[in-house]
Amino acid sequence: MSRPGSVLWLARHEARLGWRDLHYMLTAGGRWHLWKVGTVLLLAVALLHLIAYGMVMRHAGLTLDSGPAVFSTITGSFVLIFLLMLSQSLEQVTRLFYGRGDLDLLRSSPVSLRRLFSLRVAAVAVSTIAMAMVVIAPFIDVLSVLGGARWLSGFGVAVSAGLAASGLALLLSSALFDTLGPKRTRLAAQIVSAVIGSAFVIGIQVMAVLSIGSMSQQALFGSALAVDYAPTGGSVLWLPARAILGDGAALLALLAGGVLLLVLPMLLLSGRLVDYASATVGGAMDIRLRRGVAGVFRKGSPRQLLRRKEWVLLRRDSWLASQTLMQLLYLIPPALLLWRYYGDSQGSLVVLAPVLTMAAGQLGGGLAWLAVSGEDAPDLIASAPLPAGRALLAKVEAVIMVVFAVFAPFLLALLFYSPRVALTVAAGIGLAALSSTLIQIWFRSQAKRRYFRRRQTSSRIATFAEAFSSVTWAAAAATAVSPSWLAIGPAAIALIILMGAWAIRPR
């Protein structure tokens, strides 16, 4: 038994909370039995291993002598995963200071807050590593079976990357706090996190589009261009690649670096973390809006007011702002593709139709969840003198209009190129967003807006239906742009998915 208040005791407490959180997410809030979750997880693990087998089976024989193209490809993939880990860590570390939860209780207790925060940063590192392992482990497993135990060093590389990412996230978050203050850090951290998570992928895709005319980053990493600019074999830049290929010394260096990058910021900053958390409480967080009432009391029907209210709330939602920014950033490579092939054959633009349609479906689903399930004052709306359908219609309109506003620049550019293509893509965007919105309405379950991250857990069926509907509308849009009557096929499947979702909606 650990002594109450000791590091071990706190670690046990944190582990229990972490496990219950994971359990809640896996079982969709306790609605799924563990055996069911276990079966799905097993199937997912098998599927991931199958995908990994298909992707890396030919590379199991790679060695430290395989040449710069291999080093370049492995390093590129490592940087990509590391930046995603850094993005996730930054978001989690910043949340430590803003989440009230048990903080007031712990602050009022004689427990050492320095110790607690250090422990929670360590927990962020563990969670970051665990999340990365979900993606990486199948690849390492397949490579180890096919190419030998030396590939197991990949696990060590992932651990060192997770430790380093969490330490860097702590430094970044602290820098944001010191420069921007508690009011702005949350939004800034979310935006920085979104940019870090997507910048590398987008940058590489942009380079790929401009240099080799493709959006594939792997093609770029292995290209002659990458090899020409690659450093010599002994460079420290190749350390992760060498460690992954089984170089024990490189792995040890990476692990030591990872531990240092986590422990040093923890030791240096643990005292200030307590101050950051204190600064986010109460008056310091007051967010003053513009003075005066000019423009607040405006004429309009209740429906217009409801739409306006949704837009104001969406605009002020920092989490959504960062997510939308990320989606917009991901649209840069296809936009470049559009620009590059402007005036070229229509075939090159086919790729834009599914990308935009898919993104619209996902964006529409997220917005619809916020507007419908995330309504903060459902009783107010229900007690207002409005037919229930009209309030819902106003929310649907608000969502669809935002989706079209986001995608309008693309549609306008396409309109100059080909009105038919623009109209087809617009139809795809509208249908995908509308379908996701309808699914969110049918499966709505009242929740606080701040639980947006967990919206998938409220209904797995809605999540899958939304994803499949977006995919099938994307396929229909791509086929219709070709142009081909075969588009009727995926469109019919999308409608069947919608009808199925409607039939099994909770009543």
Partner 1 sequence: MPNSETGSLALDVRGLKKSFQRPAVDGLDLRVGQGEFYALLGPNGAGKTTTLRVVAGLLRPDAGSVSIFGIDALADPVAAKRLCAWVSDEPMIYDQLSPMEYLAFVAGLWGIEAASAEKKARELIEWLELLPQAHDRCESLSKGMRQKVALAGALVHDPSLIILDEPLTGLDARAARLVKDVLIERVRRNCTVVMTTHILEVAERMAARIGVISRGRLIAEGTLDDLRRQAGTGDTSLEDVFLVLTAEPESSP
User: CB of residue 104 vs partner 1: minimum separation in angstroms?
Assistant: 14
Helices 352-368 and 388-417, packing angle to 10 deg: 160
From residue 361 to residue 380, the character string flagging contacts with partner 1 as x (rule: CB under 8 A) and all else as - is: ---------------xxxxx
Q: Rounded to 5 degrees, what angle do the CA atoms 439, 442, 445 make?
A: 105
d(CA 337, CA 206): 9
Pick the piece of the chain touching partner 1 (CB under 8 A) from 55-63, 139-147, 201-209, 309-317: 309-317
In order of 120, 318, 372, 405, 433, the CA distances from 305 in angstroms are 43, 22, 15, 19, 22
In the list 133, 225, 305, 413, the residue contacting partner 1 (rule: CB under 8 A) is 305
The yes or no reply on residue 302 touching partner 1 (CB under 8 A) is: yes
The yes or no reply on residue 300 touching partner 1 (CB under 8 A) is: yes
What does the DSSP assignment read for 384-430? SSS-HHHHHHHHHHHHHHHHHHHHHHHHHHHHHH-HHHHHHHHHHHH
Complex with partner 1: residue 86 or 188, whichever CB lies closer: 188
The yes or no reply on residue 35 touching partner 1 (CB under 8 A) is: no
Give Cβ neighbours of residue 431 (< 8 Å, ≥ 6 apart): 357, 473, 476, 494
Q: Which residue has the tokens 């972490």?
A: 18
From residue 409 to residue 448, the character string flagging contacts with partner 1 as x (rule: CB under 8 A) and all else as - is: ----------------------------------------
Pick the piece of the chain touching partner 1 (CB under 8 A) from 23-31, 51-59, 167-175, 284-292: 284-292
From residue 121 to residue 160, the character string flagging contacts with partner 1 as x (rule: CB under 8 A) and all else as - is: ----------------------------------------
Complex with partner 1: residue 295 or 343, whichever CB lies closer: 295
User: CB of residue 145 vs partner 1: minimum separation in angstroms?
Assistant: 52
The yes or no reply on residue 507 touching partner 1 (CB under 8 A) is: no
Q: What is the dihedral of CA 375, 379, 382, 385, to 10 degrees?
A: -120
d(CA 34, CA 63): 42
User: CB of residue 176 vs partner 1: minimum separation in angstroms?
Assistant: 20
Q: Give me 500's structure tokens.
A: 């199925």
Pick the piece of the chain touching partner 1 (CB under 8 A) from 36-44, 247-255, 292-300, 358-366: 292-300
In the list 150, 449, 454, 460, the residue contacting partner 1 (rule: CB under 8 A) is 449
- The answer to whether the CB of 476 falls within 8 A of the CB of 430 is no
- Closest by CA to 467, choosing from 320, 347, 364, 349, is 364
d(CA 358, CA 429): 8
Q: Which residues of 276-304 are buried (b: 16+ CB within 10 A; e: fewer)?
A: bbebbeeeeeeeeeeeeeeeeeeeeeebe
In the list 285, 405, 408, 492, the residue contacting partner 1 (rule: CB under 8 A) is 285
The yes or no reply on residue 289 touching partner 1 (CB under 8 A) is: yes
The yes or no reply on residue 408 touching partner 1 (CB under 8 A) is: no
In the list 317, 372, 421, 477, the residue contacting partner 1 (rule: CB under 8 A) is 317
- Closest by CA to 444, choosing from 358, 381, 352, 355, is 381
Query: Which amino acid belongs to residue 506?
Result: P
Complex with partner 1: residue 373 or 472, whichever CB lies closer: 373
Residues of the shown chain interacting with partner 1 in the complex, contacts defined by CB under 8 A: 283, 285-293, 296-300, 302, 305-306, 309, 312-313, 316-317, 376-387, 449
